[in-house]
Amino acid sequence: MPTQPEKHSIQAWSLINRKYLGKGVRVKRFRRPTRCQIRNRVLLAILMANDIKLSYLAEKLSVSSRSVSAWVYEGRIPGKKNMEKVCEYLGYPRHILFNEALLEKSPIICQPEHSRFMRRTLTRSPVSNKILTGLCMVHDLSVSDVSEWISVHPGTFRKWLHQGALPSMTFQEKTEEFFRIPKTILFADVVLKEKSL
């Protein structure tokens, strides 16, 4: 003799229908990551310091947003034509924006929310060292955080950011060790500015 199926209450069936049946069949076209992994920290730092969105850069360079995302999040190197466009638009040479050696050994980090500390730094006074400022934004670090970790006064670190002061070789090396980015890239804004004068 067959057994009777368990009876469910109206509320239970309602929950089952709402949970499984009411949604229909959905096929996700794109994966939506909650947090993006960053491979090219320098490129993202420059974009964040200049308040340039990836979609805006893609529009200005006449490339797809997917391509720009791949440059930042996957560490892809653009082709020659797009490389020239990016370098010209952002005003940095290839070895700074797309340093292959750095991309290979760079730690993969997750993008934080918008930096609450460095956003104030950008709005208070002009920034001369965009790369260093942008890296603080990428890592969501305050001026006092970085100053403490590299053993320099916060006012001195602000001079590096706002006035484009070049620190002594000792502090350049400490900053390089902290961010794991060569000092030639970290302080490229200062060097490029001096060359243009």
Three-state DSSP class for 76?
A: coil
Q: Class assignment of domain 109-196?
A: mainly alpha
Per domain, the residue ranges of the chain are 36-106, 109-196
- Residue 186: per-residue pLDDT: 93
Query: Is the pLDDT score of 11 beyond 90?
Result: no
% of the chain residues with pLDDT over 90:
48
Same fold, 36-106 and 109-196: yes
Looking at domain 36-106, which CATH architecture does it have? Orthogonal Bundle (1.10)
Model pTM score: 0.75
What phi-psi label fits residue 31: left (phi over 0), alpha (psi between -120 and 50 degrees) or beta? beta
- pLDDT (average), residues 155-165: 91
Burial-class residue 182 by CB neighbours within 10 Å (0-12, 13-18, 19+): middle
In 3D space, the residue among 176, 106, 111, 102 whose CA is nearest the CA of residue 146 turns out to be 176
Per-residue pLDDT band at 114 (split at 50, 70, 90): low
- The answer to whether the beta carbons of residues 169 and 143 sit under 8 Å apart is no
- pLDDT (average), residues 55-65: 93
Mean pLDDT computed over every residue of the chain: 81
- pLDDT (average), residues 67-76: 91
